[in-house]
Amino acid sequence: MIDYADRVGSVEPAAPLVMSNLVSELTEQGDDVVNLSVGQPDYETPEQIKKATKDAIDAGHTTYTPSNGIPKLRRAIATHLNERHGLDYEAENIIATPGGKQALYETVQATVDPGDEVIVFEPVWSSYEPMVKLAGGETVRVDLAPHDFHLEGALDKLEAAISADTALIILNSPVNPSGMVFSDEAFRGVRDLAVENDLPVISDEIYKELIYEKDQLSLAALDGMKQRTITINGVSKSYSMTGFRLGYMAAPTDHTAQAGKVHSHSVSCAPNFVQHAAATAMTDADTDAITGEMTEMFRRRRDTLVELFADRGVTVPVPESGFYAMIPIESDDDMQWCKDAAREAGVGVVPGKAFGTPGYARVSLVDTQDRIREAVDRLATEGFIWSLSCWSPRWHKLMRSEPVVYLTREIPDTGVQLLESACDVRVWDGKLPPEPDTISRRLSELEAEGLVCLLTDEIDAEIMNASDSLRVISTFSVGYDHIDLSAAADRDLAVGHTPGVLSETTADFAWALLMTAARRTVEGHEYVQADRWETWEPTLLTGPDIHDGTLGVVGFGNIGTEMAQRAAGFDMDVVYTDRGAKPEAEARLAELGVDARHAELNDLLAESDFVSLHVPLTDGTEGLIDKAQLKAMRDDAILINTSRGPVIDTAALDTALENEWIERAALDVTDPEPLRAGHSLTRHAPEKLIVVPHIASASIGTRDQMARMAAENLLAGLKGNPLPNSAHTDHD
């Protein structure tokens, strides 16, 4: 039998992992659990970083590295800290570790002897105290709960906690678990006491890039602190690279020398290819864009959580950063409360006692606003929110005066604000569209009276029947082929869409695609990016002439005629095909100096230099451009599609490009959408195919107008009035 060390026996497993494991077990059993216990962003690692990881492996970066990290990464970390956090470090001040937790562990091992005291602030991250115990030390806690989890009002407590045995202060801001950001005055107070008592300080700043409305000092930037501060950070949170396990410490060289001993004898080095990926993240990635998107996402979720509790008379300390919040609970055993909440309500959170703050539970804002609402609903319904044990979604419906409207995706504020003026608006905020069963479930749970959907949502009878209260469906799209109108008529549902707003914008984009494909713009960009531009050549990346060419327009509605007008500026011949000739459109264009003539599709394809598709998706147009039509085109022709993906037979286009039946194609829409890596079309280089992600209508003005129209349709239907833009004549 193994006799284990007392210091290990004194340490409990990490509470967040205990709850995460329980949630995993319940999920494996088939339970639907809203998991708000995990400490990692639900944000996809940026593709640029994933590619850098793969490239590093392919380049053979799978060996040991220098123990403290590859020079490229250590330089990148120092530059990052200096430029973004106002610090002054060199590569020699950096140790790259397998996760920020390892940097903390090595620092504690290097600075704490048995019997030493280490000061921490409650609520405190659950791993600090075990690290200190494993080094033989003891923690002294400074309680911040009476000060709304802020430090400034507790500086006198910090001063009183310092003794002759104090070896280290651990400062964590932004704070896990409360999400608070300490003030400049608090940092200066810590500085004054550390200098006065000659104490080193760990400044754990892992969440510093995820602050909502303000900024925060870095402790080592203050006078007198560079030589006594160990700054801890990493790429897990700010670049959503939790599984990469790459953190770092930045510290005086005497500390890196001592901590480096622990490092080299425990982990040797951080993984080689991960270090290369982290270097790419810190030097080449758009940090502001990545962290800005994450921060805004978490801020919206924070607002939702705080408002949900406030509506029910419960005050939640408002987090200022990151993706955590502390919610008040009523229980003598908060670990049991959390386990029961997971098993009975299907909500995973972490007990506050793990952070030294009993009476609270930590919520991670790492699921959609929709799921956060669902989690609060479940906790309240099952009686886990003590002041609301009698509350239920149905009671709430009876008490509310506003109809609930469910949005399957976030739309521009022009529409949301209009809806919020009269409705209780609930929005799905996942990065990918909700699955059909998710839409059905939420419509049912919310007893929603209105639904705003997108073209990517297939709205069928099952979804429509999910809520007996549903009265109106308004789609944020031109067209409604994704909605079962027969089923809507059976339910007497009003259905609206947003026609007539995209003509000019879509024609602009179709013309831009034509120009891009003809003049080989994407190839030119890649040519320069690949460092192939050694000299200018007369025949470099030449393309076909647009002036005096022939433009074939398939579908001569509003967008098609707009396309014809743009061709006039290039003295192009315009030939069009539609269900028949359109003499009125021809006459209108003639007044603008555009000569447009009608032709059958095969004749149009045979003579056009450029073919631009502008037809709606119907049974008659699905697969309109098939193998026979592609063979009928000129072999130097360019095909443009900004209508609907299924208008082109994808397999036939793949064959046409492979066999050079046409020169190239430029697509704003594809079948399927989205077009994933590995699809046969993605193997074609830009000289044969350009694909963009359905953005022809993505101008600020048109999207705002569509949002307003979608909201106006829905509000009219809720009032029992005819929809301004009805998709179903039965509701006009």
Which amino acid is it at 281?
A: A
Side-by-side strand order, sheet with 94-97: 94-97, 247-250, 229-234, 201-204, 166-172, 117-122, 138-143
Do 511 and 566 touch, CB atoms closer than 8 A? yes
Question: 495 pairs with which residues across the strands?
Answer: 473
The string of DSSP codes covering 554-598 is E--SHHHHHHHHHHHTTT-EEEEESSS--HHHHHHHHHTT--EEE
Do 681 and 672 touch, CB atoms closer than 8 A? no
Residues 6+ apart with CB under 8 A from 669: 641, 642, 643, 644, 645, 647, 694, 696
Alpha-helix residue ranges (DSSP H) falling in 235-368: 253-266, 272-283, 287-311, 334-340
Calculated CA dihedral for residues 667, 672, 674, 676, nearest 10 degrees: -100
Q: What is the CA radius of gyration of the chain?
A: 31
**Cβ-based burial of 326 (10 A; exposed 0-12, middle 13-18, buried ≥19):** buried
Distance of CA 84 to the CA centre of its chain: 22
Of the CA atoms within 13 Å of residue 373, those in its CB half-sphere come to 21
Around Cβ 478, how many Cβ atoms within 10 Å? 22
Nearest-angstrom CA–CA distance, 177 and 203: 15
The string of DSSP codes covering 625-639 is B-HHHHHHS-TT-EE
Alpha-helix residue ranges (DSSP H) falling in 162-252: 184-197
Q: How far is CA 207 from CA 130, 430, 557, 563, 669, in A?
A: 21, 22, 53, 50, 39
Tokens of 97: 């570790």
Closest CA to 384 of 334, 447, 459, 449: 334
Residue count of the chain: 732
Per-residue HEC secondary structure of 451-499 comes to EEECCCCCECHHHHCCCCCCCEEEECCCCCCCECHHHHHHCCCEEECCC
Helix axes 558-568, 503-518, angle to 10 degrees: 50
Do 8 and 134 touch, CB atoms closer than 8 A? yes
Closest CA to 712 of 369, 405, 397: 405
First and final C-alpha spacing in the chain: 81
* Residues designated as active site: 644, 673, 694
Q: What is the three-class DSSP state of 172?
A: strand
Residues 6+ apart with CB under 8 A from 298: 41, 210, 212, 322, 323, 365
Report the phi/psi class of residue 623: left, alpha or beta, with left for phi > 0 and alpha for psi in -120 to 50: left
Nearest-angstrom CA–CA distance, 726 and 732: 6
Distance of CA 237 to the CA centre of its chain: 13
Nearest-angstrom CA–CA distance, 296 and 158: 33
